Chains A and B, each alone.
Chain A
Amino acid sequence: MSGAPTGADAELFRKLKVLVVDDSAEMRRLLKALLESMHVGEIIEARDGAKGLDAFAAHRPDIIVTDGAMQPMDGYEMTRRIRAATAGESANPDVPILMISGHVGRENVVHARDQGVTDYLPKPLSASVLYEAIVAAVSKPIHFVEKAGYRGPSPKRTLEARRPDADPLS
């Protein structure tokens, strides 16, 4: 993905509302600053999965960026609950959920996918990986499956952690 940016891109980012869920204050500070650099219009913070669920219901974010391992509720369980909500009970179960995690082993990525995570970003986080993931989340049509107790990305699709060293502009 490369080329001249369009005017609509900047306008879109100003209209975006992103929920950041992480138990590390330093990580939340970093993510907030990076999202502000992207001109994201509204950023909401929560410090664990349970508070993330509350913020999700209260603020109707367009995108969630979440840590994986948190206490008392982790990002996997938060995702599972969001995807398990039926229409009307939840603010937006189709919301793209980007998980940032230091656990990039196959087992962890598959577990994240099975809970309904949309994209998996490795730690340490790079600016390019976050930017690319956010652009993908906002610009791609959302395909999801709906079945009893689940509404989200297909658990059968291939999901791999993004590669930290790839240059998205080349």
Chain B
Amino acid sequence: MIERRSTSRLAGAADENISPPDVRFVRVPSIAERKLGADYVAPMRLDPRVLDQMQATIKSLESRYAEALKAQAAMLRVLVEPACKGDAEARGRIYSIVHDMRGLAGTFGHPMLGRFADSLCGYLEQSEIVEWKEGAVIRFHIDAIYDALENPAADPTITMETLNALERLVTTAARSRRRIG
């Protein structure tokens, strides 16, 4: 593919007597222009039918994801004790599971579960080994994830209070770590 390029005047490419600058500014035609050539009509529109189809796709994957989510939540409960006793593989698997939940639960209609996972992920990303041994913050998060999955119709006020409490725990743990450090 031949790219049509234009350098800006700032680049000074037109005058060979001037030494080339350190930075060149380049414009490449859009992918649409390159693929469609003269057929391309700008601006491209968002097609509501495509968006509907994408929403339907998410809906169709929901039940499959719900099964995976249940299995993941159960696995977190299995892994938490060995992880807090020093099992590095269990720790890695816990992080991997909650990282997955953070990314996907909200998309598939479990926003609060996703936020619990996000809070736990944030904690684990800054956690030291000694805190795994204490484990309370991790256990509380995993219980909250499990409850959110088991009781999706729970009072949102209470669920939000739980999240706030967990986030306070994480903040307190971070402060205490800074004091020790």
Interface residues of A (CB under 8 A from B): 1-6, 8-12, 15-16, 24, 26-27, 29-30, 33-34, 36-39, 62-63, 67, 69, 94, 96, 100, 102, 123-128, 130-132, 135, 137-148, 168-169
> A97 → chain B, closest Cβ, in Å?
13
Q: How many A-B residue pairs have CB under 8 A?
A: 162
A69 to B118, CA, bound (A): 13
- List 10 interface pairs A-B (beta carbons < 8 Å), by A numbering: A1-B44, A3-B45, A4-B45, A12-B40, A37-B53, A128-B54, A138-B30, A138-B31, A138-B44, A143-B27
Q: Decide yes or no whether B46 CB sits under 8 A from chain A.
A: yes
Docked CA distance A95–B71 (Å) = 37
Q: Among A12, A126, A132, A143, which residue has its beta carbon within 8 angstroms of that of B35?
A: A12
Interface size on B, residues (CB 8 A): 50
Q: Which of A29, A123, A127, A143 contacts B102 (CB 8 A)?
A: A123
Chain A residues near B35: list those with CB within 8 A: 12, 15-16, 62, 138
A39 partner residues in chain B, CB cutoff 8 A? 50
Q: What's the Cα separation between A168 and B51 when bound, in Å? A: 10
Q: Report whether A125 and B44 are in contact in the complex, using a CB–CB cutoff of 8 Å.
A: no
Residue of A nearest to B47 (CB): A5
Interface SS of B by simple majority = helix
Residues of B within 8 A of A (CB): 3, 22-33, 35-36, 39-51, 53-58, 60-61, 65, 68, 99-100, 102-107, 111, 114, 118, 121
A24 & B103 in contact (Cβ 8 Å cutoff): yes
Cα distance A102–B32 when bound, in Å? 29
Q: In the docked arrangement, what's the CA distance between A128 and B68, Å?
A: 24
Going nearest first, the 5 A-B pairs with the smallest beta carbon separation are A124-B106, A127-B54, A5-B47, A139-B44, A142-B28
- Given the interface contacts A6-B45, A9-B47, does A137 sit within 8 Å of B39 by beta carbon? no
B80 CB to nearest A CB, Å: 21
Known: A124-B103, A131-B50. A30 touches B58 (CB 8 A): yes
Question: Whole-angstrom distance from the CB of A36 to the nearest CB of chain B?
Answer: 8
Known contacts A141-B27, A145-B26, A146-B26; A135/B44 CB under 8 A:
yes
Chain A residue with minimal CB distance to B69? A26
Contact B46 A169 (CB under 8 A): yes
> Which residues on the B side are within 8 Å of A128 (C-beta)?
51, 54
Contact, CB under 8 Å: B121 / A102? yes
Q: How far is the CA of A34 from the CA of B53 in the complex (A)?
A: 8
Q: Which of B26, B33, B43, B104 touches A124 (beta carbons < 8 Å)?
A: B104
Q: Which of chain A's residues have a CB closer than 8 A to the CB of B27?
A: 141-143
Contact of B46 among A11, A102, A132, A142 (CB under 8 A): A132
